[in-house]
């Protein structure tokens, strides 16, 4: 596939802000989150095809995008302020989808927590929201990158029981949102296996052959819609390995959107030594990590 997406995601909100505040301690200022995101954007943006920013900081940083790096804004309020009862994404109140073209933004990212086995009425509300945003993107003439984050109503992620279910959850969610009624241009999806339970990485609950088949099954469910993989906070080396596994499985995926796996180690450095040290680290380790992920696309 030509024109692969090699994206850097820096759309984290209050969770990242809290981590930075903890790292900065008595040196913390109200501008620290913006400073951190600006550093990531300006340092890694020249080597990325796009950088994803959040609805709160993003509008203030649109002028900082380097040439050749596409602007992408998340159409979400803070992802940490979502009700645990329905897990429906809260929309931002500082701009609308119709404002994207005037801001010079052609890519919209929207995520929703989705459990294929959840209450049917709840899932229908989520379907309607995803479809409504899809229609608004079409009306505005912008591309719609939609991210279903799967969960199970009763089984916690990170457990062996959840690891057994994850391939099917990712496959089913991908199949749902590949329906043309949602008007999705790109599906941003999770790695369909938990490497903690895959042969060669962690507890061998799943063989490597079965893991590769899980990649094939989940990608086939997209019905031709471009897929990009998200890092979901895993360690850099494991996300790199996951991209290589997708290639080994023969998946023709469109690229990746990677956040914490690239830049999270810079939070502590920023806290201890400040912006200049952060930028130096991003220009060295951050760029190396991004280049390795790009190379993993083959």
User: What pLDDT score was predicted for residue 1?
Assistant: 42
User: What pLDDT score was predicted for residue 99?
Assistant: 98
Residues 19-64 pLDDT 10s: 999 999 999 999 999 999 999 999 999 999 999 999 999 999 999 9
- The residue among 50, 64, 138 whose CA lies nearest residue 98 is 138
Which two structure tokens, joined as six digits, stand for 275?
């912006």
User: What pLDDT score was predicted for residue 14?
Assistant: 87
User: What pLDDT score was predicted for residue 80?
Assistant: 66
Residues 253-289 pLDDT 10s: 999 999 999 999 999 999 999 999 999 999 999 999 9
Helices (H), the chain: 14-24, 32-44, 58-61, 120-140, 160-177, 208-220, 236-248, 260-263, 265-273, 275-281, 287-296
Average pLDDT in the chain: 95
% of residues, the chain, pLDDT over 70 = 99
Our CA dihedral for 228, 118, 161, 149, rounded to 10 degrees, sits at 20
- Distance, in Å, from the CA atom of 272 to the CA atom of 186, rounded to the nearest integer, reads 38
User: What pLDDT score was predicted for residue 298?
Assistant: 81
User: What pLDDT score was predicted for residue 84?
Assistant: 80
């Amino acid at each position: 596939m030509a024109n692969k997406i090699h994206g850097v995601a820096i759309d984290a909100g209050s969770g990242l802000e809290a981590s930075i505040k903890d790292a900065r301690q008595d040196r913390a200022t109200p501008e620290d989150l913006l400073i951190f995101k600006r550093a990531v954007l300006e340092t890694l943006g020249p080597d990325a095809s796009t950088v994803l920013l959040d609805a709160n900081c993003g509008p203030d940083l649109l002028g900082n995008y380097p040439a050749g790096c596409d602007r992408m804004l998340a159409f979400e309020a803070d992802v940490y302020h979502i009700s645990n009862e329905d897990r429906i994404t809260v929309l931002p109140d500082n701009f609308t989808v119709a404002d994207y073209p005037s801001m010079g933004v052609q890519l919209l990212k929207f995520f929703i927590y989705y459990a294929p086995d959840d209450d049917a009425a709840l899932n229908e509300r989520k379907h309607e929201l995803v479809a409504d945003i899809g229609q608004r993107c079409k009306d505005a003439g912008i591309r719609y990158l939609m991210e279903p984050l799967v969960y199970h109503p009763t089984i916690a992620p990170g457990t062996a029981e959840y690891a057994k279910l994850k391939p099917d959850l990712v496959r089913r969610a991908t199949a749902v949102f590949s329906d043309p009624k949602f008007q999705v241009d790109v599906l941003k999806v999770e790695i369909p296996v938990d490497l903690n339970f895959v042969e060669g990485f962690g507890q061998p609950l799943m063989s490597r052959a079965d893991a590769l088949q899980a990649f094939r099954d989940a990608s086939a469910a997209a019905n031709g819609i471009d897929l990009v993989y998200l890092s979901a906070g895993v360690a850099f080396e494991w996300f790199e390995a996951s991209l290589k596994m997708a290639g080994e499985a023969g998946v023709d995926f469109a690229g990746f959107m990677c956040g914490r796996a690239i830049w999270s180690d810079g939070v502590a450095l920023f806290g201890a030594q400040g912006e200049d040290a952060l930028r130096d680290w991003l220009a060295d380790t951050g760029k190396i990590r991004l280049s390795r992920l790009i190379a993993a696309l083959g």
